[in-house]
Amino acid sequence: QVQLVESGGGLAQFGGSLRLSCAASGSTLDTYAVGWFRQAPGKERERVSAIASSQDGTTYYEDSVQGRFTISRDKDKKNTVYLEMNRLKPEDTAVYYCAAARGGALLRLWRGQPTHWGQGTQVTVSS
């Protein structure tokens, strides 16, 4: 059973940076599509970014983070995916969730239907 654990959240200032990590246990992630979603207080969970399986490498970004966030896979650790967040804004404040879709189902994941979810990590950006 794949379990996803996020880390790297915390407090950042406006314009600052954070790097989130998603580490899997029970399996490597190279054959999974992996993505990040977020949920701000009082709002619905929304997608942020996703990356296809290692063989494919296609990436998706929501318009609100395009050019500021970068999703990537660790070149050595096949069970880790990162979300590099730069030029952070207060509206990026949310709980960030890692998600994975078995079989590299990137579109399914991007539609919010992954097969696995992490527990989330809080990101707070002060103005």
Burial of 98 (0-12, 13-18, 19+ CB in 10 A): buried
pLDDT in tens, the chain (127 residues): 899 999 999 999 999 999 999 999 999 999 999 999 999 999 999 999 999 999 898 999 999 999 999 999 999 999 999 999 999 999 999 999 999 999 879 999 999 999 999 999 999 999 9
pLDDT, position 107: 94
Beta bridge partners of 28: none
Predicted pLDDT at 82: 98
